[in-house]
Chain A
Amino acid sequence: MPIMSKDEAQALLKKVLSYSKADECEVNLNGNDSGNIRYARNAVSTSGRISQHQLVVSSAFGKKLGVATINEFDDASLKKVVERSEELAKLAPENPEYVPFLGPQTFAESKMYVPATAAITPKLRSDLVEQSIKVAKDAGAEAAGFLEDNVGFSAMMNSKGLFAYNTSTNTNFSVTVRTKDGTGSGYATRGYNDVTKLDTRKATLVAADKAVKSVKARAIEPGKYTVILEPAAVAVLLENIFFRLDARQADEGRSFLSKAGGGTRLGEKLVDERVNIYSDPLNPELPTSTWSGDGRPQEKISWIEKGVIKNLSYSRYWAEKKGVKAVPGPDAAIMEGGTKSLEELIAGTKKGVLVTRLWYIRDVDPQSLLLTGLTRDGTFYIENGKIQYPIKNFRFNESPIIMLNNLEEMGKVERTVSVESNQNYLLPPLKIRDFTFSSLSDAV
């Protein structure tokens, strides 16, 4: 039952609102059906399927808000959840930052739902994993991987006449192939809304190739190097910018976007002028929701344009206080790229390091957005336009802001997945000069 049609969701939400006695009432409804298979050592280790749905009722009396949730949808349960949210609202302290619910909004039709993914069968999941394991076996190596898929819907309605609905599907796949003696390791990850685009065999071939080629890695001195970061490595660095675009934090003086003397760096050129980063819910390669959880339309918006901080995200409260448009934060981000393939970027590199993936990324200093982490599963030395040999992994200490100032070249944009957040992005591989590797790691 988890996936409701627009009409079913609308009817249910109307019924819930009809029970409300509060000054304002808003109801969010969502459901999803997800499946996964996990494997290691060329065998399945666990698999699961989860179906769930949830209804969240927010009732307000003046500036007092109460929230209650339920996952049973019979009339008695629906009445109960509305009553409970009203009781909680009456008991709650006044929230000075309360902003009344939004009235009717216009939303574009979202493009996140692909019927083929919604119709995935246990057999297809199992076949996709079998194809991956076969590649590893054929290469005399061992695969460990994870395949998950999800079909879901969300809807919301409030007493001021706002109604929103959408459906979505997605599938994420990742695989690590290791040589039997553990001296070589390779990785690949893929994310799509449409499962028919997922080729686990091809992705595992990439991982297996990296595993075999990374055997007998040599140690080279840590220091500043020109690097080519594959999109999966770019994702885990740049998302630290995407997650920190909040205007309030910047206004309060505790963000990398805060300015000395007060104010924010909105409108300042912070990175190389070739950098353009935006979000677009209707991008056919990376569709996202056309509305945010509080009913604001999600629209195409530029965050960094020609290296300049173009927009910040605002809560409705903070926007009202500042007298600006309440732009919600992005659900995903897109960075414009160039025309070259990864191979062409390598071919044009005199000396450098190719990075497949970065791992265990943590903030070191929120002031400069300095991050640390390590390379993993395929790090290679490039000289005279060719991959020469595998090298041992490095720890890096680098800020994505400094990195985007040291931009040499961008490759073709592709969809990738962050191993830290599981978010999907459209990003190019990046060639960066003076990337700071601070120590060596023996890890394979």
Chain B
Amino acid sequence: MKRRDFVQLSGLGLGGLMLPVSLFGNPVSAEALLEVPLTNTQKKSLADVALNTAKAGGATYADVRIGRYLNQFISTREKRVQGITSTESFGVGIRVIAKGTWGFAATNEVTTDGIKKATERALAIAKANSKFQKEPVKLAPVPAYGEVVWNTPIVKNAFEVPVSEKADLLLAANAAALSNGASFVNSNLFQVNEQKYFASTDGSYIDQDIHRIWPTFTVSVTDRASGKFKSRDAMSAPMGLGYEYMIPKAEDKLQTPMGMVLYRNSYDMIEDAATAAKQAREMISAKSVEPGKYDLVLEPNHLGLTIHESVGHPLELDRILGYEANYAGTSFASIEKLKSGNFNYGSKQVNIFADKTQPGSLGAVGYDDEGVKCKRWDLIKDGVLVNFQAIRDQVHMLGQNESHGCCYAQGWNDVQFQRMPNVSLAPGKEPYSAAQMIKDVEKGIYIAGRGSYSIDQQRYNFQFGGTVFYEIKNGEVVGMLNDVAYQSNTQEFWNSCVKICDEKDYRMFGSFFDGKGQPSQVSAVSHGSSTSRFNGVNVINTGRTI
């Protein structure tokens, strides 16, 4: 998603009409989301039309994705509902290889005739673009899986929960914020259901039903006398779960030494909104940070974004090869660094893995969007770079012959390409809690939640803010801080990692709208970690007066 779209979406004063509808699909009634337009038998016979047309037209490979993408977005502000939008996008995307070149076409005419015509368009594009092709596309082999099904293991389908119940929960969270001193509060609930049917000439027919959910809010406090304003965002994470995430469970709550509660696989939105208002109020008069070197204690809902930007993106093979050079950029990581077998990405404590099967994660699917069965693999082992993320047509450039299964398209009408899988930091092996970690720090800052983030186009230099900051002195949390951002360099930062909490502290951060490509496509991805300590990181003061 382009940043401006996100600003509009998350912005204040958002009305139903302001929604960038094209981003999601056509608005429909909430009930219409539960309809089933086509059976799998019908989808299979339509998919075969595409595959047969492609083969007859000279394609050496073809895949077809019949997709129904459902979204529901509820937005509120203080005491009122601002917008309830349900959207549906239904159609078919066909990708072929002809004359050694990719061609893609899509249509919302999901009929024999519509699919035949779209396949012919994809063939024509492939043949026309072959004049630019330097070498023919080479695909890593995949087994024929036959007819298979995979569903996100949800407990409660969010689309079956009445809209009024969901809106009431958001309004209750707003009320909790307002009664605890918030001046303003905006809350939102995003729900996604991807119903995807994939078939390819390799002999797979894969039906998947995928669910994601994201409750979030921004609580603001204004101080009219000083003209200051501060805001605190939700400590929730977008998850690959159903509505069960919205029902708080005691075992998913983690108490912190600051009194704030953090959440694992279920979320207490009302409790968090009340805490947010108190924290935002405290920020108005909190101390401004003294710049310098600090030991940072980074909470998973913060550290996840740092992992995303400084490990997830630089290890995407298409970036490394230059396919994203004009937009997202390239990478400091290279095939030479990987093959050296001794590129010291981080300290010995650092083990980072990619995993498309992690339960509850945003990236969890059974098969990717080119029919590859998903798996887990290591990216950084004992601090050393050991692998990248690659898909069928590029993995051979690493000398590997099996795709990592991380191909994705945001919709039926977008062409699939390499997207980041869940990339997570393995927890420490010895028992160690966040409270103990804080006790061991002499001069440090505890940072929770996502904030401002920026990194260069090769992923060396980054600057991150956070949602809340607390100063640690001689093992004690002494108070809240303002104006904190840390700057570092990827390799230096991961080598400064000295300690990682154990698996009891492990939980996931998520990015719901991660943008990549031109035209830009969004994808959703999770990053798990336990609270971790990084020594001697450069902290700057971001306070300015205008």
Contacts and interface: CB of A to CB of B under 8 A. Distances in A.
Interface of A: 36, 38-48, 50, 52, 54, 56, 58, 65, 67-71, 84, 87-88, 92-93, 95-97, 122, 126, 129-130, 133, 142, 144-146, 148, 174-176, 178, 182, 185, 187, 243, 246, 248-249, 252-254, 256, 258-262, 270, 293-294, 315, 359-370, 372-374, 376, 393, 395, 397, 399, 401-402, 419-423, 438-444
Contact of B322 (A40, A87, A133, A374): A40
A219 B220 CA distance: 41
Contacts of A442: 332, 458, 460-461, 489
Interface stretch (B20-28, B33-41, B194-202, B376-384): B20-28
A40 B325 contact: yes
A246 B84 CA distance: 23
B326 A372 contact: no
Given A50-B413, A442-B489, A122 B4 contact: no
A259 B225 CA distance: 9
Contacts of A133: 132
Contacts of B455: 360
Contacts of A146: 326-327, 518
A48 B104 contact: yes
Given A67-B16, A369-B546, A395-B461, A44 B454 contact: no
A52 B458 contact: no
Nearest to A423: B4
B456 interface: yes
Contacts of B417: 46
Contacts of B330: 178, 182
A262 B12 contact: no
Given A40-B323, A261-B224, A441 B460 contact: yes
Interface in B428-467: 452-461, 463, 465
Nearest to B81: A93
Q: Of residues A65, A126, A246, A367, which shows the largest number of chain B Cβ atoms within 10 Å of its Cβ?
A: A367
A41 B322 contact: yes
Interface stretch (B143-151, B226-234, B400-408, B525-533): B226-234
B546 to A, nearest CB: 4
Nearest to B456: A443
A444 B327 contact: no
Interface stretch (B43-51, B258-266, B340-348, B536-544): B536-544
B545 A368 contact: yes
A363 B322 contact: no
Contacts of B327: 146, 174, 419
B317 to A, nearest CB: 13
B293 interface: no
Given A40-B326, A176-B326, A369-B546, A421 B461 contact: no
B17 A293 contact: yes
Q: Of residues A46, A315, A395, A438, which shows the largest number of chain B Cβ atoms within 10 Å of its Cβ?
A: A46
B477 interface: no
Give me the 4 closest cross-chain CB pairs, A-B, nearest first: A260-B227, A253-B222, A441-B461, A443-B458
Nearest to B103: A47
Given A360-B455, A420-B4, A178 B325 contact: yes
17 contacts: A44-B132, A50-B413, A69-B27, A130-B132, A178-B325, A178-B330, A182-B330, A248-B13, A252-B183, A253-B183, A254-B183, A254-B222, A258-B222, A365-B483, A366-B229, A370-B544, A397-B463
A269 B84 CA distance: 40
A376 B456 contact: yes
A365 B485 CA distance: 10
A250 to B, nearest CB: 11
Contacts of A402: 544, 546
Contact of A362 (B27, B84, B454, B544): B454
Contacts of B463: 364, 372, 395, 397, 438-439
A249 B12 CA distance: 8
Given A364-B465, A399-B544, A443-B457, A54 B222 contact: no
A122 B325 contact: no
Contacts of B285: none
Interface in B504-546: 517-519, 538, 540, 542-546
B466 to A, nearest CB: 12
Contacts of B81: 93
B456 A393 contact: yes
Interface string B80-120: 11001000000000000000001010001000000000000
B546 A41 contact: no
B228 A367 contact: yes
A178 B485 CA distance: 32
B398 interface: no
A367 B27 contact: no
Contacts of A246: 13
B542 A46 contact: no
A68 B27 CA distance: 6
B89 to A, nearest CB: 10
Given A243-B4, A258-B229, A362-B454, A148 B519 contact: yes
A439 B291 CA distance: 14
Contacts of B474: none
Contacts of B26: 54, 69-71
B180 to A, nearest CB: 18
B119 to A, nearest CB: 15
Contacts of A399: 544, 546
Contacts of B52: none
A175 B518 CA distance: 12
Nearest to A41: B322
Contacts of A293: 17
Contact of B104 (A42, A46, A397): A46
